[in-house]
Chain A
Amino acid sequence: MTTPNLTAAPIDTAAVDVSGLAGALWLIGAAVFALLAIFFIGLDQGMVSVFGSDLHVHEFVHDGRHFLGFPCH
């Protein structure tokens, strides 16, 4: 997946451009939301469970979990 466009650029040190605290918080918040959502859709109440032996989340997203390729019961 490397590309001709990406490759010829010189390696730069710290050219990440995030404008201040608010920008950083948006990025962190987005990443946290994403990982939580993926956890509940894909893993919770299967191989690990945060609500004990309850299966409501698992059963509700059941078809989606199979379809997305997560290992499911």
Chain B
Amino acid sequence: MERKFVLRGFASGALAGLLSFVFARIFAEPVIARAIDYESARDAAQAALDKAAGLPVAPAGAELFSRTVQQDIGIAVALVLFGMALGALLAVVFTLTQRGSARHVRPRTLALLLSGAGFVSVYLVPFLKYPANPPAVGHEDTIETRGSLYLVIQVVSVVAMVLAVQLGRALARTRGSWQASLLAGLAYLVVVGVTMALLDPVHETPGPLRDASGTIVLGGFDPDDLYRFRLYALGGQLILWGVLGLILGPWAEKALKQSGRPVVVSREPARV
């Protein structure tokens, strides 16, 4: 059964990644193209300013892959592989909980709950503090700081989510599921809220570029494009996790039914 779940996780994830790629290709790629144009224009303007000021001009980096390869193949491979990785992880967590702590939950519901919890803790909460950025937004020199900050909030968020679910299950025995769910949700929000407040902010959206006399040579990054890119990035992740949960759940349930094992362990043994 583990093998079946894992293979179905890979397949569901690949499909989710493919759909996310179609979405990205249609909506996000035009924004990425404009961002790269802006990046080139900015580099050229900066080089002209440096030259005028007598400063050394950094040579432009060589292009390893054409834009066509990056926007048609590179992103497709990245998203399909990423989807497969998420599918594999979801299948592992699903397998470990389905016969154990979540044996009273219908498998297709469980898969959707797990992918929902994954979307919120792995992606949404880190995104709220450190949203996705198009090319041209973000300094090359701060990649290590930004990477570390992102990993910190991701780890805190996922651990807090796991603990909140445990807390909710413990509280449910005395307070009922409604209050337990609200309290556990509140505990999660408090932990990630405090973490967000404590971590350093990142402000790296390029503003206007000025010459020595203060005249604007090039405007700042288009705020509408920044908004669009972030919205589409969020949409792409919603497609990834949503499709994954909706496909893996029923498919895994089918495997369980075929194997003849009980799909859900009833809470009250007296009733059928």
Contacts and interface: CB of A to CB of B under 8 A. Distances in A.
B2 A38 contact: no
**Interface on chain B toward A: helix, strand, loop, or mixed SS?**
helix
Q: For this complex, into which size category does the number of interface residues on chain B fall?
A: 35 or more
Interface in A52-67: 55-56, 59-67
Contacts of B116: 1
B105 A5 contact: yes
B72 to A, nearest CB: 9
Contact of B101 (A12, A37, A61, A68): A12
Interface in A1-32: 1-12, 14-19, 22-24, 26-27, 29-31
Contact of A26 (B6, B131, B184): B6
A10 B177 CA distance: 12
Contacts of B130: 69, 71
Contacts of B104: 5, 8-9
Interface string B27-50: 011001000000000000000000
B260 to A, nearest CB: 14
B164 A60 contact: no
Given A2-B185, A61-B77, A68-B79, A27 B32 contact: no
Interface in B208-241: 229, 232-233, 236-237
Q: For this complex, into which size category does the number of interface residues on chain A fall?
A: 35 or more
Given A2-B180, A9-B104, A23-B2, A65 B78 contact: yes
A34 interface: yes
Contacts of B89: 30-31, 34
A60 B1 contact: no
B205 interface: no
Contacts of A3: 105, 113, 168, 177, 181
A45 B242 CA distance: 29
Given A16-B99, A47-B148, A66-B32, A30 B6 contact: yes
A41 B69 CA distance: 16
A69 B138 CA distance: 12
A3 B258 CA distance: 27
A33 B88 contact: yes
A72 B77 CA distance: 17
B95 interface: yes
A15 B185 CA distance: 25
B142 to A, nearest CB: 9
A30 B132 contact: no
**Across the A-B interface, the 10 shortest Cβ-Cβ residue pairs:** A64-B78, A2-B168, A7-B172, A17-B99, A47-B147, A69-B132, A23-B2, A4-B177, A34-B85, A1-B117
Interface of A: 1-12, 14-19, 22-24, 26-27, 29-31, 33-35, 37-38, 41-43, 46-47, 55-56, 59-73
Given A33-B84, A63-B74, 13 more contacts: A14-B100, A19-B1, A24-B2, A26-B3, A30-B6, A31-B89, A35-B85, A59-B64, A64-B79, A67-B236, A69-B123, A72-B135, A73-B138
